[in-house]
Structure 1
């Protein structure tokens, strides 16, 4: 039998817990964000990577050297002209881009299909020739297009390049972005919409990029969503909510639990850190984030 609820004891426990946090303890895995700290060996359950744009204050060579030392496998969102630099360090372009027109002008609007089909046909060849796999794509903004018409337009356009992607072994990956804060009016802003698009295209070479930060803002219920829809997710991005900064105890998401759920699904793709470092030691923040996610 459980003990009767005691309000006084509960308050004492809350105060004690708050004092411990104030003293510097954390429920997250302990790891100092210190550039002089030796990085522990990664466990090998998660393929860690990082988004280039978040660390643009470093040259690509500097970032490549740092992530190689940390044990990351590659870098997201590096243009084709810089792929030789990645290869010099034995790294992978874990999410290729450059075929999209923009985030706002995408597959949901037929006026862009001719240009997109040309761009993606060419980039699928580039990605395959480089030995990489994932190629980013975007839905585009709604404007005057309703969600059902947007779905149909995306299917019509993407089906004209997905066969080529299948032949080349390239996976087209549409990102889920929040339309509440960062990308007003973006159409692919809910997991069910993206999942329906995957079902209609019906190809293993079309997946969703499940951005944990974005979907926490627009949907929440992150772990349940991963549990229910992970078969449609080909890539993951991280960041702290709110603010898109470090994924430590300063924000609301508990990444160890999220990463354990991803691991339980048997996911073998990439998880990319996409937070904007607020700390002075940006690489220290990246080290800490990788260790938090290394379950």
Structure 2
């Protein structure tokens, strides 16, 4: 190809890419109807500039019946709108102060002992937890500390049918966090040996930290109880502006027989945030 023709072709291609996001936004104005082969959810914090009840009403209009990361103080509002809490929170201390450090065990055991029965009482299943930061601790020591602490509450979770889910984070966004790779998390699951402890596999975090997302899903899916989405880089929309191809990832999740929830956890950059959310749901609705 001659240089001038190559430059003209490349320029046209760049213009096409620049219009992708706008095209996607226009596309979301078409009729929105989910097939629901995947159980869809959304993380509330990403859209918390929208009044909570207004957002729940919007989810009802979209036919999305679940939301992530809502605590006990607002579960009664979810009941009002018939929205399921697909990932409960409120028992943790913080992302950095978690089960890998015995100094937090007493408080964490108290918190989770109080909230696990409440999760079950409201008809929910999943309750989030965190490893905490290393702070110089060896990963093997931290893993054993997690086993020692979590073993104290897993019988209660089993009794009430509640599944504790530890989220995987990357080191760029959460420096020093211990549960930062699939293998460490899977090893923790194996040590605990309970179906009531799983990993929350955050696709955004694990693409940054380790990549090979579909292979991880295929190899370790028995240990993954929940999924979060977002675009890489930037944790924005899961459209063509980022590097992950979510339809293939969701198909891989579906092929494992997964019956849990996939929650959108991206920070919208579009002017119309609900249009961005609809676009994300559509891309995951295989």
TM-score, with structure 2 as normaliser: 0.93
Task: Return the alpha-carbon distance in structure 1 between the equivalents of residues 243 and 16 of structure 2.
Answer: 19
Alignment check: 8 A CA contact 2:28 2:278 kept? no
Structure 2: distance between partners of 1:135 and 1:47: 17
| In 2: Cα distance, 1:131 partner to 1:31 partner | 40
1:292 pairs with one of 280, 283, 286:
283
Contact in 2 for aligned 1:31/1:288 (Cα 8 Å)? no
The alignment status of 1:23 with 2:10, answered yes or no, reads: no
Contact 1:39 1:70 survives alignment (8 Å): no
* Structure 1, unaligned runs of 5 or more: 1-7
Is the counterpart of residue 65 in structure 1 residue 57 in structure 2?
A: yes
Q: Offset at 1:33?
A: 2.9
> Displacement of 1:18 after TM fit?
7.5
What is the DSSP-based 3-state SS (H/G/I as helix, E as strand, rest coil) of the residue aligned with 1:107? Answer: coil
1:259 paired residue among 227, 250, 259: 250
**Match runs of 1:22-61 below 5 Å:** 22-23=15-16, 32-33=24-25, 37-61=29-53
Q: Is the 8 A contact 1:39 1:287 kept in 2?
A: no
Give the number of equivalent residue pairs.
284
Quote how far apart the aligned CAs of 1:93 are: 0.7
Name which of structure 1's ranges 17-26 and 151-160 shifts more when overlaid on structure 2.
17-26
Match of 1:191 in 2: 182
Shift of 1:126: 0.9
Distance, in Å, in 2 between the alignment partners of 1:27 and 1:267 is 31
1:19 deviates by 3.7
1:166 matches 2:126: no
**Cα distance change, pair 188–20 in 1 and its aligned pair in 2 (3 A):** same
Change (3 A) 1:251 1:32: closer
1:170-205 deviations in Å (ceiling 9; x for gaps): 0000000001x1100000000000000000000000
Where does residue 209 of structure 1 map in the other structure?
200
- 1:126-137 aligned at under 5 Å gives the runs 126-137=118-129
Pairing 1:113–2:105 present: yes
C-alpha contact (below 8 Å) 1:34/1:281 kept by paired residues: no
The answer as to 2:83 corresponding to 1:84 is: no
Partner of 2:264: 273
In the aligned structure 1, how far is the partner of 2:283 from the partner of 2:89?
27
Stretches of structure 2 that go unaligned for 5 or more consecutive residues are none
3-state DSSP of counterpart to 2:277: helix
The CA distance in 1 between the partners of 2:8 and 2:160, in whole Å, is 59
Q: Would you say the 8 A contact 2:28–2:279 is kept in 1?
A: no
| Higher alpha-carbon deviation: 151-160 or 64-73 | 64-73
The CA deviation at 1:118 is 0.5
Could you tell me whether the CA contact under 8 Å between 1:33 and 1:287 is conserved in 2? no
In the TM superposition, residue 37 of structure 1 has moved relative to its aligned partner by 2.4
Query: CA 1:96–1:182 in structure 2 vs 1: closer, same or farther (change >3 Å)?
Result: same
Range that drifts further, 37-46 or 252-261: 37-46
Instruction: Look up the match of 1:149.
Output: 141
- Shift of residue 40, structure 1, vs aligned partner: 2.8
Describe the SS at the equivalent of 2:42. Answer: strand
